[in-house]
């Protein structure tokens, strides 16, 4: 009604003053009767109030539109992050290059697939490996991925394999409980289970661990190239394929796929939960065993799980070329079920 009254007032203005008798006659034809004075009071009482309401409505409308636009942008940002993450973890990510300075004799340990945060973890055994490394004077340990169990939301039953659920719980658990020994540095990459956190929310657990533990150096997603000398390159790799029927098959096919100028001298491969070593195309190839138990999923798929670690003694000459490489395979037979209950 106030809008109609405003229009009528505008129509019946003389010398910039409304004629309320004429206004009342016209308004009373459409609305309940009011005297000219009654319409004047109604007009003065509601004209500004309605304007404020309109302003508030416009402001609210503007805020809603802005919020909707921000929500749209955020959804697009998350979608882009997920697309980038999926592209990384499903495809081959260009490895980062690192330079290490080593002596002519370099002793180190290599482990993989700890799956911490899962009920099949063997954290007590992992600690015993670090104790052994300390006893033998080893200061460098490499980890080939799947340091965490992750959480695959597209597999609903996976939640029953976890004792820590979600990114924060698993990251904090690893930061708190992963072995720390004075003088020992762990260099690690992330694997497909670690990347579930990226798929779920764009969070990189490798970066979180590396930022909170000075003794743990994060090297990248899936793989890393380590230049031990200018004539000796060592790669860490966590592939995305499955377990093959023959232990050496996946390794041979991978080495066959490499061009002559792109081969490492040594490569350590996680993911398959196997322990095997061979030399092919002049490359020292290692499948690195897990440091966890065989899961029910592996049993259901009839996939064998080997648990253990590699100890390596590498000798190089003046030119940085490999003179000898001696490896020792440490296989873990003593299984400790529900070991996660010993840790908080």
Report the candidate in 191, 196, 152, 155 with the shortest Cα–Cα distance to residue 271. Answer: 191
Cα within 13 Å of Cα(114), Cβ side: 28
- The structure tokens listed for 278 are 């061979």
> 56-65, 247-256, 308-317 — which is least confidently predicted?
56-65
Query: What 3-state class would DSSP assign to 105?
Result: strand
For residue 81, what pLDDT is reported?
A: 66
Average pLDDT of span 156-172:
94
For the chain, percent of residues with pLDDT exceeding 70:
93
d(CA 146, CA 194): 5
Contact 327, 277 (CB under 8 A): yes
Average pLDDT of span 8-22:
77
Strand partners of residue 276: 287
Q: Give the model's confidence band at 154: pLDDT under 50 very low, under 70 low, under 90 confident, else very high.
A: confident
Computed on alpha carbons and rounded to an integer, the radius of gyration of the chain in Å comes to 34
- For the cut 90, the answer to whether the pLDDT of residue 131 exceeds it is yes
For the chain, percent of residues with pLDDT exceeding 90:
59
Contact 112, 288 (CB under 8 A): yes
Contact 216, 178 (CB under 8 A): yes
> 62-76, 85-99, 303-317 — which is least confidently predicted?
85-99
Which residue's entry shows tokens 């039953």?
Answer: 157
Residue 324's contacts (CB-CB under 8 Å, 6 or more residues apart) are 313, 314, 315
Question: Which burial class, exposed, middle or buried, applies to 134 when counting CB atoms under 10 A from its CB (0-12, 13-18, 19+)?
Answer: middle
- 232/201: higher pLDDT: 232
d(CA 197, CA 85): 10
Alpha-carbon separation of residue 331 from 223, 282, 301, 316 (angstroms): 24, 26, 22, 27
Mean pLDDT score of the chain, rounded to an integer?
89
d(CA 18, CA 16): 7
Domain residues of the chain, as ranges? 1-87, 91-342
Residue 152's contacts (CB-CB under 8 Å, 6 or more residues apart) are 158, 193, 196
For residue 286, what pLDDT is reported?
A: 98
Reported as a single tens digit per residue, the pLDDT across 78-120 is: 777 666 666 555 555 677 889 998 999 999 999 999 999 999 9
For residue 51, what pLDDT is reported?
A: 61
For residue 23, what pLDDT is reported?
A: 82
- 96/336: higher pLDDT: 336
| Number of residues assigned to the chain | 344
Reported as a single tens digit per residue, the pLDDT across 144-153 is: 999 999 999 8
d(CA 265, CA 284): 6
Residue 103's contacts (CB-CB under 8 Å, 6 or more residues apart) are none
Predicted TM-score (pTM) of the model is 0.74
d(CA 19, CA 184): 94
- 59/137: higher pLDDT: 137
Q: Give the model's confidence band at 12: pLDDT under 50 very low, under 70 low, under 90 confident, else very high.
A: confident
91-342: CATH superfamily = Metallo-dependent phosphatases (3.60.21.10)
Reported as a single tens digit per residue, the pLDDT across 245-289 is: 788 888 999 899 988 888 999 999 999 999 999 999 999 999 999
């Amino acid at each position: 009604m106030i809008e109609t009254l405003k229009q009528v007032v505008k129509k019946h203005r003389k010398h910039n003053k409304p004629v309320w008798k004429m206004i009342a006659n016209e308004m009373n034809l459409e609305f309940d009767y009011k005297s000219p004075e009654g319409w004047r009071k109604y007009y003065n009482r509601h004209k500004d109030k309605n304007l404020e309401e309109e302003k508030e409505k416009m402001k609210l409308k503007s805020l809603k539109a802005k919020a909707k636009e921000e929500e749209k942008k955020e959804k697009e940002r998350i979608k882009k992050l997920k697309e980038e993450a999926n592209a990384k973890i499903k495809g081959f990510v260009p490895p980062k290059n690192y330079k290490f300075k080593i002596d002519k004799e370099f002793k180190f340990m290599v482990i993989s697939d700890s799956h911490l945060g899962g009920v099949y973890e063997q954290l007590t055994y992992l600690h015993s490996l670090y104790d052994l490394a300390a006893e033998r004077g080893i200061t460098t340990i490499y980890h080939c991925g799947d340091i965490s169990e992750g959480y695959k939301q597209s597999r609903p039953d996976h939640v029953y394999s976890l004792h820590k659920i979600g990114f924060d719980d698993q990251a904090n658990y690893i930061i708190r409980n992963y072995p720390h020994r004075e003088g020992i540095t762990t260099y690690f990459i992330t694997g497909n289970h670690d990347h579930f956190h990226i798929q779920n929310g764009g969070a990189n657990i490798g970066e979180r661990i590396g930022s909170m533990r000075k003794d743990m150096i994060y090297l990248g997603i899936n793989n890393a190239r380590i230049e031990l000398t200018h004539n000796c390159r060592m790669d860490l790799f966590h592939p995305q394929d499955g377990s093959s029927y023959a232990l050496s098959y996946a390794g041979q096919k991978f080495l066959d796929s490499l061009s002559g100028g792109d081969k490492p001298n040594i490569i350590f491969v996680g993911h398959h939960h196997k322990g095997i070593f061979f030399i092919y195309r002049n490359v020292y190839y290692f499948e690195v065993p897990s440091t966890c138990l065989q899961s029910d999923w592996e049993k259901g798929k009839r996939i064998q799980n080997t648990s253990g670690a590699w100890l390596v003694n590498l000798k190089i000459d003046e030119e940085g070329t490999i003179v000898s490489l001696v490896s020792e395979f440490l296989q873990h037979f003593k299984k400790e079920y529900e070991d996660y209950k010993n840790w908080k």
